[in-house]
Structure 1
């Protein structure tokens, strides 16, 4: 049995004022330099579980099961060559549920000509402009330190590829840190653009990004166009401003590029969260986003709420689909498949383009039969 404590906090999380109730948390955000980057830094009451050696993970919440994950894993668990670049606050690379899912840059591993470890020799061994970028890069600090001081990035990564709570537990995570709570005066938009271009250069298949704002950026849009030219899917949060994105666009989700999948968040009754953006012409689909259980720094687990969590689920679903069908190159086709296989909900009519919510099982079951190998191996991933 895990010991659990409820902790509400707003300090260090980009929040304008304190949070007294859990339901208040998603409503607060911070404006930074005209580019509102902290819409996904919603400060939440997190349920932390101290994971002891003999402890078992508590049962997952409704989100993972609504996606049909146990059934979906009979088709596929993901492939190691499918890399999801997570542009966020970093990641706890030592977390038991994530350490095996960390992408490794082959150009920064092994020994150099002098017999030194390339990962720590202080040299840009692969000539990509980044020194010792073994698992990604910290664009906020300009170094290879990808540790998560916030928690958000680790939570998102766990939903994409965590061993017990992630949608695609065998894919790899490229950690691209663009925000650090201790470096709040940095240019977050610049960092975002640089991170996108890094993901493109280093051959990620999917980019997951939960940030954004109301101000469009030609630099950001061009970077996502570059990703589209390389057939990279860009999964973007619709935003947490409780507004209609058809009227008040939220970027980068609303650039209208063919490789962008815009995702909003729903509760267990299939309703768009009061804090989430929506739009019958701007939002592609919905996914679970309320009180979602995932990984946290320090080997912990906790719940968060928002479009960030819904976006991570969608990235994981896309990663599984690409694992099942690696020949599926066109991001627009991946989006079409995820939308076409979604479940129609009355509550979503007029809230998204097609009024559907994500269903990972149905997305994979559109083609082929369950894999006998995956079926046998999936047993250890069934929310133990």
Structure 2
């Protein structure tokens, strides 16, 4: 699911890299005329093999077991191999390490305390650039974990039930939101706007905390910046800087019913801003892992993930680095799901059949992309990880958006993602396209389901989301779309239904 919104080209990047980044955030991007294609080479080498001597790199190190004892052994192995510990998650047995030695991963793989290890990027960590969010490594004995107040936040959550919407008065621009009518959200709001007891974690580029349409629903106590891999709960750490992507996503989920602007799918629920996108638009594994752990430990019921983990559009099992990083991210995702969190992710914007992958020309996107053969052992993460709800995008006519990835058995549900009006930074509103815009519709419907059925969590929530989705058959004559009317590669089990969620 390369999932991002249409990103604007970043200064200093090649056109090929900009296209890769835009696909990842769930947006559409048109390459300029004369853009140079990504170089065609042999299949990509391992990420660590391109590290130059003396350049700092971050690594995901997986302990043999997910417990404190084995994680401490992995930390000791990291230091013995000449690396330093950035942060450590004993709950999932993952250590984020740093080293400037190109042989670090190879040496560490020989340790009996380590199951696998892989570089999280192919470009060096910019330790002097504050926009990367990379802090100093931890000294022995220090903790990069959230404080006790974070772990106990769930106990302090409000216990109010579903708050019924009495007389619904439309907000000024609600009539422009074709997407809300398409999924029955406008009718659902006649029954309820959702419960304040429900928390949706928005793993993205940050949410403008004082936006007039969002401020009432952003839970600052549950928010954090995760760029370094370590949660930073200061206000500035989870605010947007160069991107309004997360603010747009948040508005679709839960813009407030307050007589201002628009209304989200679930305007009565709370959101947390978990910033995982750095100022250059990258979402590296250490940030994504931190994001899932932060969301879980702060009591989130649902996470929205409108991105793919950089720098590989697809992380492949036949590469030691990529396999290890995929394992580390998956451990965080499964940890969250085991604790009742429902995770939603965008399918991506490359118009790729995720059920039949053949080639990737856009990775790695932090250095120079190479052409490589890929197969079903290569996954877009987190969208293709087990238990994650993968969302494709539809247009106002109900068709699959031209940019949307698809795939029978991969896409779970569909939602509106073309020309979506939502909140943007600066207190305003704007239109965006992408599976990044589709995913938050599904997250909002999950929030309504949780509001109406607080006893449900995790898998039960996602099961109900899929069961209640409205069947959308393949287009007549389509050769790309395979499957049945009830479950196919374009729309999965159908278009999400907000009204069914609450009645």
Once the two structures are TM-superposed, the CA of residue 188 in structure 1 deviates from its matched residue by 1.6
* 1:148 and 2:248 are equivalent in the alignment: no
Question: How many residues in Structure 1 have an aligned counterpart in Structure 2?
Answer: 302
Could you tell me how far apart the structure 1 residues matched to 2:448 and 2:27 are? 27
User: Which structure would you say has the larger RCO, counting Cα contacts within 8 Å and 6 or more residues apart?
Assistant: 1
Instruction: Give the conservation status (yes or no) of the 8 Å contact 1:95–1:297.
Output: yes
Once the two structures are TM-superposed, the CA of residue 89 in structure 1 deviates from its matched residue by 0.3
Instruction: Give the conservation status (yes or no) of the 8 Å contact 2:177–2:420.
Output: yes
Mind listing any 5+ residue stretches in structure 1 that lack a counterpart?
A: 1-7, 19-26, 45-54, 106-134, 366-384
Could you tell me how far apart the structure 1 residues matched to 2:173 and 2:216 are? 18
Q: TM-score, normalised by structure 2?
A: 0.56
Instruction: Give the conservation status (yes or no) of the 8 Å contact 2:442–2:496.
Output: yes
Could you tell me how far apart the structure 1 residues matched to 2:495 and 2:448 are? 17
Look up the match of 2:339: 230
* 1:80 and 2:196 are equivalent in the alignment: yes
Q: 1:43 and 1:173, CA in 2 relative to 1: closer, same or farther beyond 3 A? A: farther
1:214 corresponds to which of 290, 314, 323: 314
Instruction: Give the conservation status (yes or no) of the 8 Å contact 1:253–1:262.
Output: yes
Look up the match of 2:464: 337
Q: 1:188 and 1:83, CA in 2 relative to 1: closer, same or farther beyond 3 A? A: same
Mind listing any 5+ residue stretches in structure 2 that lack a counterpart?
A: 1-5, 31-170, 257-261, 317-325, 358-378, 476-484
Q: 1:175 and 1:39, CA in 2 relative to 1: closer, same or farther beyond 3 A? A: closer
Instruction: Give the conservation status (yes or no) of the 8 Å contact 2:466–2:493.
Output: no
Could you tell me how far apart the structure 2 residues matched to 1:232 and 1:102 are? 18
Q: Within 5 Å, give how 1:80-119 maps onto structure 2.
A: 80-105=196-221
**Which deviations, in whole Å up to 9, do the C-alpha atoms of 1:190-218 show, x marking residues without a partner?**
10111111111111111110111311611
Q: 1:297 and 1:285, CA in 2 relative to 1: closer, same or farther beyond 3 A? A: same
Once the two structures are TM-superposed, the CA of residue 74 in structure 1 deviates from its matched residue by 2.2
Question: Considering only aligned residues, what root-mean-square deviation do their CA atoms show, in Å?
Answer: 2.7
**Which deviations, in whole Å up to 9, do the C-alpha atoms of 1:157-195 show, x marking residues without a partner?**
0000101321011111111111122x55x7622101111
Once the two structures are TM-superposed, the CA of residue 289 in structure 1 deviates from its matched residue by 0.5
Instruction: Give the conservation status (yes or no) of the 8 Å contact 1:10–1:17.
Output: no
Could you tell me how far apart the structure 2 residues matched to 1:317 and 1:308 are? 15
Could you tell me how far apart the structure 2 residues matched to 1:287 and 1:229 are? 26
Q: 1:13 and 1:190, CA in 2 relative to 1: closer, same or farther beyond 3 A? A: farther
* 1:201 and 2:297 are equivalent in the alignment: yes
Once the two structures are TM-superposed, the CA of residue 57 in structure 1 deviates from its matched residue by 3.3
Once the two structures are TM-superposed, the CA of residue 352 in structure 1 deviates from its matched residue by 4.5
Q: 1:170 and 1:14, CA in 2 relative to 1: closer, same or farther beyond 3 A? A: farther
Look up the match of 2:474: 347
Could you tell me how far apart the structure 2 residues matched to 1:162 and 1:362 are? 20
Mean alpha-carbon deviation: is it higher for 265-274 or for 152-161?
A: 265-274
Look up the match of 2:366: none
Could you tell me how far apart the structure 1 residues matched to 2:227 and 2:413 are? 31
Could you tell me how far apart the structure 2 residues matched to 1:293 and 1:60 are? 7
Could you tell me how far apart the structure 2 residues matched to 1:355 and 1:226 are? 26
Once the two structures are TM-superposed, the CA of residue 43 in structure 1 deviates from its matched residue by 5.2
1:254 corresponds to which of 361, 373, 384: 384
The structure whose Rg is larger is 2
Could you tell me how far apart the structure 1 residues matched to 2:417 and 2:19 are? 17
Once the two structures are TM-superposed, the CA of residue 284 in structure 1 deviates from its matched residue by 0.5
Instruction: Give the conservation status (yes or no) of the 8 Å contact 1:281–1:352.
Output: no
Could you tell me how far apart the structure 2 residues matched to 1:238 and 1:353 are? 11
Instruction: Give the conservation status (yes or no) of the 8 Å contact 1:284–1:352.
Output: no
Could you tell me how far apart the structure 1 residues matched to 2:195 and 2:273 are? 17
Q: Within 5 Å, give how 1:15-34 maps onto structure 2.
A: 16-17=14-15, 29-30=19-20
Could you tell me how far apart the structure 1 residues matched to 2:12 and 2:411 are? 26
Look up the match of 2:496: 358
* 1:175 and 2:273 are equivalent in the alignment: yes
Could you tell me how far apart the structure 2 residues matched to 1:75 and 1:155 are? 25
Once the two structures are TM-superposed, the CA of residue 10 in structure 1 deviates from its matched residue by 2.4
Could you tell me how far apart the structure 1 residues matched to 2:403 and 2:501 are? 27
Once the two structures are TM-superposed, the CA of residue 59 in structure 1 deviates from its matched residue by 3.0
Look up the match of 1:318: 446
Look up the match of 1:10: 8
**Which deviations, in whole Å up to 9, do the C-alpha atoms of 1:76-117 show, x marking residues without a partner?**
211112111111000111111000001132xxxxxxxxxxxx
1:240 aligned counterpart, secondary structure: coil
Once the two structures are TM-superposed, the CA of residue 156 in structure 1 deviates from its matched residue by 0.1
Q: TM-score, normalised by structure 1?
A: 0.72
Could you tell me how far apart the structure 1 residues matched to 2:474 and 2:25 are? 24
Once the two structures are TM-superposed, the CA of residue 337 in structure 1 deviates from its matched residue by 1.4
